Structure formats: structure tokens, C-alpha cells
Amino acid sequence: MAQSPAPDAAHWPALRFEPDGFSIPESRIMGRHSAGVSFLRAFVRAAGSREIVGVGARASAGSVFRDNVRALSSQAEARWSLLADQQALAKIGALHVPDPQLARHAMLRQSVGPHAYSLTGVTHTISSPGAGAMGLIADMAVAPVMPWDALICTSEAVKASVTTLLDAQDDFLRWRFGAAAAAPRPDLPVIPLGVHCDDFTGHEAVRMRRRVELELADDEVAFLFLGRLSFHAKAHPYPMYVALEAAAKETGKKIALIQCGWFANEFIEKAFKEGAAEFAPSVRHIWLDGTKDEARETAWAVSDVFMSLSDNIQETFGLTIIEAMAAGKPVIATDWDGYRQTVRRDDTGFLIPTYMPQLDQVGDIYAQRHAAQALTYDVYIAAASQHVSIDLRALRHAIVDLVEHKELRGVMGARGRAVARETFDWAVVMRAYETLWARLAVLRGAAVKGAAPPVAQHLNPFPYFASYPSAALDAQTLVSLRVAPDWRAAMRHALFSAARDANPAEAMLAAIEDALRPHALPVAGIAAKTGLATQDVLQAVSLMAKWGAVDLGPDIAR
């Protein structure tokens, strides 16, 4: 088998950067925030001596990007480029975006041609319809997304769902436009999210002290859920409560449940805590604020088993699963989307079967009501998750096994830690990214290049609205100086700030003034007399007329 080309500086992509995507907020922490911060660390480390280029819509974000990079590596060379400067991206040859917005960026790329550079994006949640992730992915079918682009799927389950969505979009387009050939698709490689394994070592040193602080007895088995505490958008806690209660009664052992996370509102918090008291009264419940670093460190240190029973279509990968493995915890997780690729069944933990019906009528109702804005996104995903069930018998057996067999907890935890380093450490995962970027560069280089038409949504406003004005300002338009105009004050006024970046240099303005002083000239005559390009004169004269410096067209009574 031919080996993939080794990555080099020519294949190292620029990074689409928005501060919100690469920072941890104080509240409403989402998986994409944690993944973004973790990815940036890996990206900067893997770049080594290569220049790290951030790309964004606004110049103001450049200082934030440079500060973030320098905080991760004092040796890194960081540079900022504006997204509008597509020529700069063409010189780099690749752009990575931390979301599935390939269609939007492919449209922007069309100004320099689809061969100019490769695009890569990544899936996080893919359940939001309309203008959300589902819409962004579906748009790839009508955007100039090419085979040398890639949407990285974090699991095989996610790839299957993305393929289903693209197939449905192709079916719709064939119905709408006829039996035309389907548009080229981007590559859909499966690359997991990563974790910095070293962040999750050393907890043993504080384990006993923190357990004493939480009043956990030596023989008390502490189960941990860490993450967003949301029964409608993350994981319904009822199976966890009733299974732990059943295991506590069956084994007669002391069981504690630590829930380290954050609630969106008081209603959800009340539901969680009242549910815990009602459905798991024999279990000791410990609540920690998961927005605090110390609380998360405590949770990892004192816990014996990690449990995450996702049953929601909003979940796609489950970053906390590999964090738990890196921390040396045995895992009980649902056999659900990316979880089944992170947990090795009966080796690093237990996978609990899940069941979801295929409900054509009910599912269509949910989808249509959400599309019509009769259901919010939260209600839509909550309604869907109510039809997903977990095998409570298998869950109880898994809990009992780990409660009763301390040595099993140790063996599974050690295996999980080893697998995390072998498979999910960012040093390993980033090599898969590098190999992908190099392979896409080869594909792009080998493709037949041709002229690219403009994208309709990004048409130049001047030809698009050419029918609006009375007349076109062109090479034959007569230009004359106004009598003693005080137009430079107007030029500098805030009222004229919108196009300030397009203002000609003072030397060009002075040259045009000098050319017009004897008498009026057409634009072409100004260009000939000054040696300026006709397009530059047109640009300058259009602004000078706005400022009141010149009159356009034949003389009329003033």
C-alpha cells in the first residue's frame, strides 16, 4: 500500500478563528468549547517551527489569536489574516474551520477558484436543523465543495448520519432539477477528538485528601458524571438513578454519585435534585460545580467509575469518555454514536445497549413543527430523546460488577489509560490531521484546473445594480473640477467613513486635480494625462464626486 505523503510547511493550514470557539465561557459551557481549546493546544504544539496563521472576519480578533498562541508557546510565530483576503489563503494552500461550515467557505474561495486551497471542517453536534448543522452540511451539495476538501467526522456513527443527510439532499435536488449527476462530495474521514492525557494524571496524589473532604468512606464506591447537566439535551439521569439504587440494594455496598456539571436554569436543577432524591434514595448524592477547575480536579481524583448514559441526538462523540479513560477510570457508557468507538466493550468499560424506534409519522411531526418554529430546538431534541431507551438490566449488571470487584475497576481503568494514550492523545490524533492535510494537497495538485464562475450570492455590487443609476460612470464620462470646493474636510468627516479603505492616496488626488485644472476631461483623458490606470481613476473620481470635488457629465447651469 502506498504511504500517504508526509506533511510539511506547505500543507499546514491556516486556522479559522473566532474567540468564542477557542475559549471556555464562565457559564453555558458546551462540548465545542472544550474541544476547541483542546484542539488549539494540539495545533500549536504540532505546528512546531511552522508559522501559525489565524483567519477571521475582523482585524480586532487578531490580537486575541496572537495572545492565545503565545500563551501556548512563547516560540510560536503567529500571524493574522483577514478572511476577505482570499489571495493570502491561496498562498497558504489550506484552511481548517472548527465546524461544518465548508459550504460558506467554499463560496468565499470561489473568488480565487476552487483549486486555490483545501478546506477541512469538523462535526460536533449535527442535530440542529434549518440554519444549524443540518443545513450547513446539506448546503455542501450545492456549494463548490470539492474532493480535495474534507468534513472530518468524529465517529463512524456520525459519518453514517452525514451520508444519510447528503443522500437525502441529492434526492431532493434530482427531484427539483432533474436527473443530473450528483455534485462531488468532500472526503468524510473519521478522526476522533483528542485529549491531552498528561492533564489527567497525578490525581492520585490528592485522592485521599479530597475523599476525606467529601466524607467518602474507604469502602464507598463513587460513580461520576461530569458535563452539562441537562435531561433534554445531554443525558437523561433517570436510568442512572434507578440502576444505582437497584445496585445499592442488591450489593448492600455504599454507593455515591457525584454529578459535576452545570445547569442551564433553576427548573432543570430542581428536576435533577428532586429526581435523585426520589429515584435513588439509598445513594449518596454529591453535587459539584463543573465550571470550576478545582471541582473538576476533585471529581476526577475521588471517583472510582465514570458513567455517561447519553440518549440524545445532540450528542455526537462524548469527549468526557476519553477524559475518563485518560484519568484511569473504568467507564459505563451507552452504546450510542461515538461512545461505541471510544469504549472498548468489556475491556475499558461496559457499553449499555440503547433502543430507538423508527417512527415515520411522529418523527415527521417533530421535524415539521420545529421547521415551522412551533417547537424550539431544545423541545425538538428533548421530544426525540423521550423515545430512546436504555437497557436497565444490562446497566444494573455493569454497576454491580464494578461495585463488587475492586480489582476489575483497576484493570479496566489501567486499560483505559493505555488506550487513551495509544489512540486518543492529541499527539496521535493530530498526526491523522496532518496526514489528511497532506493527502488533500496531493489531490488538489493533481486536479485539472479551469476558470471558475462567480458565486451568485457574492456578485460585485456595481454590475449587479448597474440598472439603478441614471448613467454609468465610465471611461467616456466627462469630469470637471468644482469651483473652490472644500471637499477634503468632507472626505475626512465621519459621514464618509464607510469606504475609507478605498480612499486614494493624496498624491493620486492631487494628480487628478492638476490634470483637470485647465479644463474638463473624460476619465480616459485623465488616465492618459496622469499615467494612472483607468480603473484607479474611476475609483478616485467616483469618490471625489461623492465629496463634491468634481462634477460629472456635460456642463449644466450651476
Question: What pTM did the predictor assign?
Answer: 0.86
User: Which three-class secondary structure state does DSSP give residue 91?
Assistant: helix
Judge whether residue 4 has pLDDT over 50. Answer: no
Which three cell numbers mark 261? 456539571
Q: How far apart are CA 395 and CA 219, in angstroms?
A: 21
For the sheet containing 550-552, what is the strand order?
521-522, 478-481, 550-552
Which three cell numbers mark 265? 436554569
CA distances in angstroms from 126 to 110, 150, 313, 402, listed in the order given: 26, 16, 8, 33
Grade residue 462 by pLDDT with cuts at 50, 70 and 90.
confident
Which three cell numbers mark 527? 488616465
Burial 260-271 (b: 16+ CB within 10 A, else e): bbbbeeeebeee
Which three cell numbers mark 503? 480612499
Q: How far apart are CA 386 and CA 390, in angstroms?
A: 11
User: Which three-class secondary structure state does DSSP give residue 71?
Assistant: helix
The mean pLDDT of the chain is: 90
In the chain, % of residues over pLDDT 90: 71
CA triple 107-460-81, angle to 5 deg:
55
Q: Which of 347, 351, 330 is nearest to 223 (CA)?
A: 330
Q: What is the 3-class SS of 458-474, one letter each residue?
A: HCCHHHHCCCCCCCCCC
Question: Which range is least confidently modeled, 14-18, 322-326, 462-466, 523-527?
Answer: 462-466
pLDDT in tens, 440-452: 999 999 987 877 7
Grade residue 2 by pLDDT with cuts at 50, 70 and 90.
very low
CA triple 13-18-21, angle to 5 deg:
95
Mean pLDDT of 483-502: 84
The pLDDT, as a whole number, for residue 557 is 43
* Cβ atoms 285, 276 nearer than 8 A: yes
* Cβ atoms 329, 413 nearer than 8 A: yes
Pairing of strands 52-56, 78-82: parallel
The pLDDT, as a whole number, for residue 360 is 82
Which three cell numbers mark 308? 455517561
Q: How far apart are CA 118 and CA 116, in angstroms?
A: 7
Give the CA count within 13 Å in the CB-facing half-sphere of 74.
0
Hey, how many other C-beta atoms are within 10 angstroms of the C-beta on 493? 10
* Cβ atoms 277, 245 nearer than 8 A: no
pLDDT in tens, 16-60: 998 877 765 555 556 666 788 899 999 999 998 899 999 999 999
Count of helix runs (H) and strand runs (E) in the chain: 22, 17
Q: How far apart are CA 7 and CA 133, in angstroms?
A: 30
In the chain, % of residues over pLDDT 70: 94
* Cβ atoms 178, 209 nearer than 8 A: no
Alpha helices in 353-479 (DSSP H): 360-371, 377-385, 392-404, 406-419, 426-446, 461-464
Q: How far apart are CA 236 and CA 238, in angstroms?
A: 6
Beta bridge partners of 119: 95
pLDDT in tens, 50-89: 999 999 999 999 999 999 999 999 888 999 999 999 999 9
Q: Where are the beta strands (DSSP E) in 268-382?
A: 284-289, 305-308, 331-334, 349-352, 354-355
DSSP class of residue 254 equals: -
Mean pLDDT of 518-535: 94
